[in-house]
Structure 1
Amino acid sequence: MRDFDRFIKFRSGIIARRNEHAAIRSYISNDVIVHAGDASMKNTRQVASTLKTLMLEPNDWMPNNPRLPVIIYLSAMSITRDDPAALFEKTFSAHGWPPQWLDGVYDYNHYHTEGHEVLGVVSGQARLMLGGPGGQVVEVNKGDVLLLPAGTGHCNLRSSADLLVVGAYPPGQHADIRREALARRSLRTSLPWRFLHMTQP
């Protein structure tokens, strides 16, 4: 338990690139979601108990990410304030993930090659498919946070009318919209560094 607690509490710093999986878990669990002194956020033990990860292999035309997992935190944020969207935006911005949009999730399968994406569910609920056609189906609700590594397919299968999501990306990255397969050469030149590296602030 001591080792696990040390891992959860580990603050972002100089993290070896060969350990990117651990870097993402540490970065999101500690820096993006959990912040001591903010009563709106869950403590590390609560967050760890609701953490889910998915490793998604290439699926038909969807590349997904062979090195980094999708990470899902259920009820990571307590929605108690008058402006929950601002809470997500402030939290993500404070830890190096500038918010870029406030909207829903597209109802068609797509993926991004230009950046990792973190989604904060401000309100409502949705049934999302991850990994492309026939992929993993997950239910998300207000307060949930999802990290989608570059290449991960995602699609909104069904959602409530009040669904609202904050989308954010690491510095210098953004959400290009890809709805078809990339040529093998394009995959090699566009995706490797994003598959392998998650920069720290």
Structure 2
Amino acid sequence: MIGNMSGVKFEYFADDGQFPNSTLPVVIYRQAIAAADASPEAMEALFDTNGWPSQWRAGVYYYHHYHSTAHECLGIAAGEATLRLGGPNGRSFAVSKGDVLLLPAGVAHQCEGAGGGFLVVGAYPPGQKWDVLRGEVSDRPAADKSIARLALPATDPVGGQDGPVLQKWR
């Protein structure tokens, strides 16, 4: 299954001293799956087919956090939300059913509000296990070292071998 590539956006978030964020862009796929066709099962099939094993169904934490040991893919399977990316000084984005966000390791994110039965499918590149860091001073520099060692994904979670992450993250 190949997702929609026409609504792809790239957003950059620099290290703010508290959150490492990334020199790699966040990739936002608007309506990767048409809202009428989006479901948890459809998101899981999209990610699994493209080499990003789906691992959970839930929401997004209401506090700023990031992962230093995994790149994270968030597929909006139901509802809508406002997600803040990049930490307290970052930017807010409205997301809805069918959208997918690909967050490079280090990018802070949180849910500012959600509705309509908001449900996310989370996926990660094979072999990557996520941690949850909240931007504590003690997190770094170990988190920075973990992020620097982390392998780039071999495929794009939405576009497989032809997705934009393979060009933008190399």
TM (normalized to structure 2)? 0.83
How many residues matched? 153
Any conservation in 1 of the 2:78–2:116 contact (CA below 8 Å)? no
- Separation (CA, whole Å) in 2 of partners of 1:149 and 1:199: 10
| Structure 2 alignment gaps of length 5 or more | 156-170
- Separation (CA, whole Å) in 1 of partners of 2:144 and 2:69: 13
Aligned residues: CA RMSD: 1.7
Residue aligned with 1:191, SS: helix
> Could you tell me which residue of structure 1 aligns to residue 84 of structure 2?
129
Which one has a larger percent helix, Structure 1 or Structure 2?
1
Pairing of 1:1-201 with structure 2 (within 5 A): 35=2, 41-42=3-4, 47-48=5-6, 50-66=7-23, 68-81=24-37, 84-179=39-134, 180-181=136-137, 182-184=139-141, 186-194=142-150, 197-200=151-154
| Alignment deviations for residues 5-60 of structure 1 (CA, whole Å, 9 cap, x no partner) | xxxxxxxxxxxxxxxxxxxxxxxxxxxxx62xxxxx43xxxx23x21111110013
| Alignment deviations for residues 132-160 of structure 1 (CA, whole Å, 9 cap, x no partner) | 11211111000001000000000000111
User: 2:13 corresponds to which letter in structure 1?
Assistant: L
Any conservation in 1 of the 2:78–2:118 contact (CA below 8 Å)? yes
- After TM superposition, the runs of 4+ consecutive aligned structure 1 residues lying more than 3 A away are none
> Could you tell me which residue of structure 2 aligns to residue 12 of structure 1?
none
Q: Percent identity?
A: 40
- Separation (CA, whole Å) in 1 of partners of 2:66 and 2:132: 6
Which one has a larger percent strand, Structure 1 or Structure 2?
2
Any conservation in 1 of the 2:20–2:144 contact (CA below 8 Å)? no
TM (normalized to structure 1)? 0.71
- Separation (CA, whole Å) in 1 of partners of 2:39 and 2:16: 35
The Cα of 1:175 is off from its aligned counterpart by 2.0
Higher relative contact order (CA 8 A, sep 6+): 2
